[in-house]
Amino acid sequence: MSLFGLGSRNQKTFRPKKSAPSGSKGAQLQKHIDATLGSGNLREAVRLPPGEDINEWLAVNTVDFFNQVNILYGTLTEFCTPSNCPTMTAGPKYEYRWADGITIKKPIEVSAPKYVEYLMDWIEVQLDDESIFPQKLGAPFPPNFQDVVKTIFKRLFRVYAHIYHTHFQEIVSLKEEAHLNTCFKHFVLFTWEFRLIDKGELAPLYDLVESILQL
């Protein structure tokens, strides 16, 4: 996304960038996102454009937020290693274990980089599944589409929580804190607008979330 372009020095993507789904419709909505973000008003940028389908809007933004987290985390891979981060934590109180319900049914303890790898792989499978994220214009979304989107956003939040709690000093040393804060503010405003993450899940960063939402 144009507003969130990092300098070439840190352009280490964790994996290839995904493009917007839903054919020309997705591209059109992506242009709307870029235009509204360019105005600098994030609260306005997250709102459903008049006359647009909510699922189309959620789909395009899901890809966008996936790409943002992917780029941010990609700048930290030399710091977020199995030896530095043997578990996926967000401060001393919160630890996340991985399960996808298919190949790994019982939650397992893994290192933070392994958790993020599992997570990004899992999200890519969802995004590439045309029965969940249809690519063709006008193709129907499945009945459980919003549940899938909620799970994706809940898990992407955990990457932000890990970054803030464990790697903020590295972010500062890379001079990326403004970029991180803007990405996270956009993420919080979007998830709040569409009620995508339960309040309890936000606990590891609740003070920050509260200050963004000005509750």
Evaluate whether residue 41 is within a structural domain. Answer: no
Is residue 3 in a domain?
Answer: no
C-alpha span between 201 and 151 (Å, rounded): 11
Residue 40's pLDDT is: 63
Alpha carbons within 13 A on the beta-carbon side of 34: 10
User: What is the domain-level CATH number for residue 164?
Assistant: 1.20.140.30
Q: What is the reported pLDDT for 137?
A: 75
Domain count, the chain: 1
pLDDT score for 8: 32
| Separation of alpha carbons 171 and 157, rounded Å | 17
**What pLDDT does residue 135 have?**
85
Going residue by residue through the chain, which has 215 residues, state the pLDDT in tens, using 9 for 90 and above.
333 333 333 334 445 556 655 455 566 666 656 655 555 688 888 999 998 899 999 999 999 999 999 999 999 999 999 999 999 999 999 999 999 988 999 999 999 999 999 999 999 999 999 999 998 877 899 999 999 999 999 999 999 999 999 999 999 999 999 999 999 999 999 999 999 999 999 999 999 999 999 85
Predicted model pTM: 0.85
CA atoms within 13 Å, Cβ hemisphere of 38: 8
In a domain, 143, yes or no: yes
> Is 182 a member of any domain?
yes
Cα–Cα distances (Å) from 166 to 49, 158, 161, 162, in that order, read 36, 12, 8, 6
In sequence order, which ranges of the chain are alpha helices (DSSP H)?
23-38, 42-46, 54-74, 112-128, 145-166, 168-173, 177-193, 206-213
Three-class SS state of 98 = strand
Residue 41 has what pLDDT? 81
* 175 in Cβ contact with 202 (< 8 Å): no
| 4 in a structural domain | no
What residues make up the domain containing 181? 53-213
Q: Which amino acid does the sequence have at 3?
A: L
Supply the pLDDT for residue 84.
97
In a domain, 17, yes or no: no
Residue 9 lies in a domain: no
Is 73 part of a structural domain of the chain? Answer: yes
Q: Are 141 and 134 in contact (CB under 8 A)?
A: yes
CB 24 within 8 A of CB 114: no
